Amino acid sequence: MNQEAADFIVATRAALTQASALAVHYSFSIVGAVIILVIGWLFAGVLQRWAYRGLEAIHGIDETLARFFSNLLRYVVLILVFITVLGQFGVQTASIIATLGAAGLAVGLALQGTLQNIAAGIMLLVLRPFRVGEYIETSSVSGTVEEIGLFATELRTPEGLYRLAPNSTLWNTPVTNYSRRALRRHEISVPVAAGDDVKGVERQLLALARAQGTTENSPPPETFISDLTAANATVTLRYWVRNADWDRVTSRMREAVRNDIFSRKDAA
């Protein structure tokens, strides 16, 4: 009986000694993990702000893109901090990294379309084929750009309707930007019957173009015979208009040609 009591006391002392050793060991690990977490969290926040300010200072980098990359950098640092903390407790981080890689691959395959839109959104924000406020047209969508996001672009149609276009659709197709250039060319064609004064029609068209202020732009307006048959000839006026004045000038030019040239022909 005395021997059993002695063995119990010895076993209890051994267990207590081992428990105290483990407590001391893991207490240091816990304290180290807390310190790493705090420092890593603060460092990730500081690095995120530095990255955002640096990207924002670069000419041509959109604010959405700057926020995306700065937040991505912060999350990468936090993941590395988390893996380091697990290493403090003796966890094999190599298997965790391999698991994260496999999970990332699976998520990438499952969200292939979404990631394609994100990649296209980044390219649109970096290369800037169009900006907010510009009118664009593709084979499937057209409208004024209101917002360029990482996943989709918001447009406003000429009818005032809201339209959302995936970025991959805009990136993988030719885009016509009607607002990017300062000048835009316009043409008006006038049929001239055989025997009529072709040079007189050309002078009239040039006078109308000058009256609308198109001579302020470069190159100056010009006329030429764009079609010729035995019955008649077609005289075309080609002139350049500022983008801001496109609708006003082209509308007035059509009205002036109808009133000053076609009306005179009808009267004659």
CATH level 3 topology of 183-267 = Alpha-Beta Plaits (3.30.70)
CATH architecture, domain defined by 127-177: Roll (2.30)
pLDDT-based confidence at 174, cuts 50/70/90? Answer: very high
Structure tokens at 17: 């000694």
Contacts 24+ apart (CB under 8 A), 49-53: none
Using the Cα atoms of residue 216, residue 218, residue 224 and residue 226 in order, give the sign of their dihedral.
negative
Find, among 223, 232, 227, the residue nearest to 203 by Cα: 223
- Taking the model in full, what pTM does it have? 0.60
State the pLDDT at residue 83.
78
**C-alpha to C-alpha distance for 189 and 167, rounded to whole angstroms:** 39
Tokens of 141: 């969508």
Q: What is the rounded CA–CA span in Å between residue 229 and residue 108?
A: 63
- Of 105-109, 183-187, 224-228, the one with minimum mean pLDDT is 105-109
Structure confidence by residue, pLDDT tens digits, 228-264: 887 788 999 999 988 888 888 888 888 888 887 766 5
Q: For 181-215, give one letter per residue: b (16+ CB within 10 A) or e.
A: eeebebebebebeeeeebeebbebbbebbeebebe
Specify the domain boundaries for CATH 1.10.287.1260 within the chain.
2-110
Parts of the chain belonging to CATH 2.30.30.60 = 127-177
Given the DSSP bridges, would you call strands 183-193 and 232-242 parallel, antiparallel or unpaired? antiparallel
Dihedral class, residue 257 (left if φ above 0, else alpha if ψ from -120 to 50, else beta): alpha
Is residue 248 classed as helix, strand or coil in its secondary structure?
helix
Cα 136 from Cα 145, distance rounded (Å): 7
CATH topology for 2-110? Helix Hairpins (1.10.287)
Pick the more confident residue, 130 or 51.
130
Read off the pLDDT of residues 105-164 as tens digits, 9 standing for 90 and up.
665 555 556 788 888 888 888 888 998 889 999 988 999 999 888 888 999 998 999 999
* Domain span(s) for CATH 3.30.70.100 in the chain: 183-267
Report residue 16 as tokens. 């207590």
